[in-house]
Chains A and B, each alone.
Chain A
């Protein structure tokens, strides 16, 4: 191993010792795999063999005209929207299981780092539910939708969710809702008022939920990603209790409600200097509950999006007005909708 400046970095590979200890802890905690099992995995999965794992698929969307599918969403994205009906319950179940583990750890008064670790697991799984929504929304906001879905990057979702949090993401076209001109063209005069109000109620509900989810993403995304890629998070206990964490304990205000953790996210600047951002994260039960609620709102938004888009696809519609909020209409408005089909 290359040795850097000894005055700054320590003598002869102290990093090697730290790494060795880390691997030892990981190995002892997770269990060392048997040598033969490891070799067998390498033999079964030759990294040079590009044919492994490549399967050609032909997709057909049931219940829809294939030509119309190709001309609109395309078969891959349509198929993905179909799968949302299974993906969303799966995501929510995973969030729920993590939440149960966290709640049990709090009730059993387990060590704080264990509680924060499980809280961060809730955060991670809730963020994945939000990302599922973000990916589809991002795909639908530009051309080559399938390409956008499978190639988006974190800054793309940041841009989208920032707009959502500021109510600048227009949910109307995404959810196939009509604009005023389209309503005037397609609705009879008797129904126009009721349909306009129904559209407005639906849109307001969607925009409010998108604002909520967007704000969550912008607040928690850096920490959620940190839990997925390296877990550079220090528990409050190790920052606060003697002998402390050196300069890590000096980077920000530690006078916070516990339990909490601090994510340390570093970026290398153009001049090769490292800039580390200190992200404290509240992991108390009310905040964890909020994460769970957010995942449910994101799930609702994604299911609604899939159902609207697939209905429009199957019935060759460009716009639709759902009856979800019809109970908010006046009796007169409901009568107007009922008199015509």
Chain B
């Protein structure tokens, strides 16, 4: 049986607790890892002299690590719109279990 406090509240088991776990994971697991990765690739870039292929690889790594954070936000935004039934994007992952 759905666990609702009243008709206006979303289901705890299928909505609130999964979303809570994901958001806590985002705060405690994803963001620290993203920040470490970005700081690390930034420091690695800072050690490179010149503009040779090593420097190009270092820049690409910084771009990759920074874009991943942007994509995280995009995924979350798209997943949230999925909840309202607006999006069918395969990117809409985090909250998709709400639809099962």
- The interface of chain A, by Cβ under 8 A from chain B, is 1-11, 13-16, 18-19, 21-23, 25-26, 29-30, 83, 86-87, 90, 93-94, 97-98, 101, 111, 113-114, 116-118, 120-121, 226, 228-235, 237-239, 243-249, 261, 264-268, 272-276
Q: Is the CB of B76 within 8 A of A22?
A: yes
- The interface of chain B, by Cβ under 8 A from chain A, is 7-37, 40-41, 44, 53-54, 57-58, 61, 68-69, 71-77, 79-81, 83-86, 88, 90-100
Q: Inside 8 A of B40's CB, which chain A residues have their CB?
A: 94, 97-98, 101
- Known contacts being A111-B28, A117-B30, is A266 close to B92, with CB within 8 Å? yes
Q: Is the CB of A118 within 8 A of B33?
A: yes
- Known contacts being A1-B84, A15-B84, is A26 close to B73, with CB within 8 Å? yes
Q: Is the CB of A238 within 8 A of B86?
A: no
The smallest beta-carbon distance between B100 and chain A, in angstroms, is: 6
Looking at chain B's contact residues, is the secondary structure mostly helix, strand, loop, or mixed? helix
Q: Is the CB of B31 within 8 A of A30?
A: yes
Q: Is the CB of A273 within 8 A of B25?
A: no
Q: Which residue of B lies closest to A9 (CB)?
A: B83
30 A-B contact pairs sorted by A residue (CB < 8 Å): A4-B85, A6-B8, A9-B10, A10-B10, A14-B83, A18-B83, A18-B95, A22-B80, A26-B69, A94-B41, A94-B44, A94-B61, A98-B37, A114-B32, A114-B33, A117-B33, A118-B33, A121-B33, A230-B74, A231-B26, A231-B33, A233-B30, A237-B28, A238-B28, A246-B14, A246-B17, A247-B17, A247-B18, A264-B96, A268-B88
- Known contacts being A11-B8, A86-B54, A94-B61, is A233 close to B90, with CB within 8 Å? no
Q: 6 closest A-B pairs (Cβ-Cβ)?
A: A117-B33, A246-B17, A230-B75, A245-B21, A266-B96, A10-B10
Q: Is the CB of A116 within 8 A of B83?
A: no
Q: Is the CB of B93 within 8 A of A90?
A: no
Q: Is the CB of B75 within 8 A of A229?
A: yes
The smallest beta-carbon distance between A267 and chain B, in angstroms, is: 7
Q: Inside 8 A of B99's CB, which chain A residues have their CB?
A: 273-274
Q: Is the CB of A90 within 8 A of B28?
A: no
Q: Inside 8 A of A275's CB, which chain B residues have their CB?
A: 100
